[in-house]
């Protein structure tokens, strides 16, 4: 419930603070005194858009602050979801700066307007003749039925299962799309993969392959060169080794005369050994190498295949081709396994669908049981509100598609006349009838649901006499279970209040300001008497006012 409202620099209000209590609070005042200003200011702390035009003094900021006692509202989870500090005495503040910027706070924590709106919906429900359009919406009508059916917990379970069903369904749709695309690419990927596999890339050492090709491709020239080298090294008449051996023999004659000659002998001897080894390798290479056109063709084909694959895939190393081969293998394997995954997911989707449908049917069963009770209660309330022939028909029809509140569509039909044709409520009910229906619905809901503070803004317009008395009794009855505020012009309703506040304007120094005053019992007699007979008080009006208050 709201416990206080502080308003500074807003419209005709300079600075006021209003305290509120449990029960029924009546707010009265002449037309234009500023009752709507109070609602406008309250709307700002509920998240309504701000306008610089509402500022009384453009040089100062406008501050609206409301305090709520929410210990019984079970809003801890809502505060946690919006990352707010929970306090049983919660303060909601809105500031409008001269620059036009707006700031919002909940318990001194900055919040967005969206967060403020979400919280505001749980704190206050403002109902006026203009707000009856919500009654015409199927969503609101279904909420009323569900409140009587006690479907709150079941709807939470339903929505949880519905989320799971939608998640699985979305995953399945995405996977099927991927499979369709994969099937288009499968032949191409398989061809590329097989082409790389057939190349036997793992067995290829590119440098060795290129070297082998060069040897085979130039075998005759290599053999010719090796023969000449061998001859140069080992010719008995002029070979290098022969010449060095002769030099070695000559040095052997003087090697013992000096260490210098010994060193020369050793060096020549080492050279002979090295050249003999070279000669041996040359002869071995010459023996191994042969002109082999068939082998050359095979190596050449393998190199051409390798270069073609490298060019095709835009790489230059065998290792890169092997990596591409591995990736293609994964795609081919994935394409073959995706059907199994889809089958598994289809089972999950169907299981979730059946579970969601089962819960939706449980919800509908409870709705069907609650509808006759709601119909009876609403028609009983409307009987006292001057609509003795009002009748409702609630048509609940299950649909194939799942909605956020189940799988049923609700149509609320109404007639205000005996024997009259039923029609959709929003099309056949007048504005006055809609106001009374909404009051009846709110009254019924207080029996089944904890409602936030309820503010009735002149919904009694066009009502008088016994119907006004009945409206007052309904509001008074509701206020025993919740906080109710009623802005009214009817003395019958004003007299039922536990508290009474009067809004009025005053001219001070050529400036008009709005004020609000808590009325005493004597003040209430005068206020209600004026509501009955006008500004000129008569004895009969005062007597009537006292009678109403008693």
Query: In order of start, what are the domains of the chain with their CATH numbers?
Result: 2-150+385-519 (3.40.50.300), 178-337 (no CATH)
Reported as a pLDDT band with limits 50, 70 and 90, residue 460 is confident
Reported as a pLDDT band with limits 50, 70 and 90, residue 298 is low
Q: From 398, 338, 405, select the one nearest 368 (Cα to Cα).
A: 398
Flag the least confident range among 99-113, 336-350, 509-523: 336-350
- According to DSSP, residue 129 is labeled G
Reported as a pLDDT band with limits 50, 70 and 90, residue 371 is very high
Whether 151 shows a pLDDT value over 90: the answer reads yes
**What is the SS3 assignment for 544?**
helix
pLDDT value for 402: 95
Whether 215 shows a pLDDT value over 70: the answer reads no
Sheet of 423-424: strands edge to edge?
391-403, 406-415, 423-424
For the chain, the distance separating the N- and C-terminal CA atoms, rounded to the nearest angstrom, is 27
Q: What angle do the packed helices 318-384 and 293-313 form, to 10 degrees?
A: 30
Q: From 458, 448, 483, 510, select the one nearest 148 (Cα to Cα).
A: 448
Whether 404 shows a pLDDT value over 60: the answer reads yes
Q: How far, in Å, CA of 490 to CA of 513, rounded?
A: 25
Whether 238 shows a pLDDT value over 60: the answer reads no
Residue 88 CB neighbour total at 10 angstroms: 12
pLDDT value for 310: 74
pLDDT value for 360: 96
Please check whether residue 99 is in contact with residue 59, taking contact to mean a CB–CB distance below 8 angstroms.
no
Reported as a pLDDT band with limits 50, 70 and 90, residue 66 is very high
523 Cα distance to chain centroid: 53
Which of 33-42, 178-187, 359-368 tops mean pLDDT?
359-368
Residue 107, CA atoms < 13 Å, CB-side half-sphere: 15
pTM of the model: 0.68
Q: What is the mean pLDDT of residues 529-534?
A: 88
Mean of all residue pLDDT scores within the chain? 85
pLDDT value for 535: 76
Reported as a pLDDT band with limits 50, 70 and 90, residue 423 is very high
As a whole-number percent, the residues of the chain with pLDDT over 70 amount to 84
pLDDT higher at 248 or 480? 480
Flag the least confident range among 39-48, 170-179, 294-303: 294-303
The structure tokens listed for 541 are 């009006």
pLDDT higher at 225 or 68? 68
């Amino acid at each position: 419930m709201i416990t206080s409202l502080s308003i500074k620099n807003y419209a005709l209000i300079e600075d006021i603070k209003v305290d509120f209590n449990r029960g029924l609070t009546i707010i009265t005042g002449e037309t234009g005194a500023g009752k709507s200003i109070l609602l406008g200011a309250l709307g700002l702390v509920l998240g309504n858009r701000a306008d610089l035009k509402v500022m009384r003094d453009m040089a100062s900021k406008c501050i609206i602050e409301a305090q709520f006692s929410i210990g019984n509202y079970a809003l801890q989870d809502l505060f946690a979801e919006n990352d707010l500090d929970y306090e049983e005495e919660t303060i909601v503040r809105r500031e409008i700066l001269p620059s036009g910027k707006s700031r919002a706070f909940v318990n001194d924590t900055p919040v967005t307007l969206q967060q403020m709106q979400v919280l505001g919906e749980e704190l206050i429900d403002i109902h006026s003749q203009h707000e009856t359009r919500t009654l015409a919406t199927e969503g609101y009508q279904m909420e009323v039925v569900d409140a009587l059916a006690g479907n709150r917990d079941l709807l939470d379970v339903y929505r949880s299962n519905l989320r799971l069903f939608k998640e699985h369904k979305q995953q399945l749709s995405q996977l099927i799309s991927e499979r369709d695309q994969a099937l288009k690419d499968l032949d191409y990927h398989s061809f590329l993969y097989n082409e790389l596999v057939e190349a036997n890339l793992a067995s290829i050492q590119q440098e060795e392959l290129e070297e082998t090709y060069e040897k085979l491709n130039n075998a005759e020239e290599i053999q010719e060169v090796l023969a000449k080298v061998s001859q140069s090294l080992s010719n008995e008449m002029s070979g290098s080794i022969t010449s060095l051996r002769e030099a070695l023999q000559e040095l052997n004659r003087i090697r013992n005369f000096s260490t210098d000659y010994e060193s020369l002998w050793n060096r020549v001897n080492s050279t002979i050994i090295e050249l003999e080894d070279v000669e041996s390798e040359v002869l071995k290479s010459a023996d191994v190498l042969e002109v082999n056109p068939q082998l050359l063709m095979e190596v050449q084909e393998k190199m051409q295949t390798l270069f073609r694959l490298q060019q095709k895939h835009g790489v230059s190393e065998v290792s890169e081709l092997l990596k591409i081969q591995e990736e293609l293998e994964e795609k081919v394997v994935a394409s073959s396994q995706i059907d199994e995954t889809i089958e598994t997911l289809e089972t999950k989707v169907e299981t979730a669908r059946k579970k969601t449908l089962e819960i939706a049917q449980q919800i509908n069963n409870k709705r069907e049981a609650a509808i006759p009770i709601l119909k009876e209660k609403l028609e009983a309330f409307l009987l006292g509100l001057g609509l003795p022939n009002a009748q409702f028909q609630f048509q609940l029809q299950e649909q194939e598609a799942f909605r956020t509140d189940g799988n049923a569509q609700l149509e609320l039909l109404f007639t205000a006349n005996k024997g009259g044709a039923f029609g959709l409520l929003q099309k056949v009910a007048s504005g006055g009838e809609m106001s009374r229906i909404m009051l009846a619905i709110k009254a019924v809901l207080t029996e089944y649901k904890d409602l936030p503070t309820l503010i009735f803004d002149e919904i009694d317009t066009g009502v008088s006499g016994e119907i006004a008395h009945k409206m007052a009794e309904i509001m008074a009855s509701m206020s025993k279970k919740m906080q109710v505020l009623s802005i009214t012009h009817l003395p019958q309703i004003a007299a039922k209040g536990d508290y009474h506040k009067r809004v009025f304007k005053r001219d001070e120094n050529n400036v008009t300001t709005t004020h609000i005053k808590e009325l005493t019992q004597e003040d209430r007699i005068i206020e209600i008497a004026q509501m009955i007979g006008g500004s000129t008080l008569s004895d009969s009006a005062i007597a009537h006012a006292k009678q109403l208050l008693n």
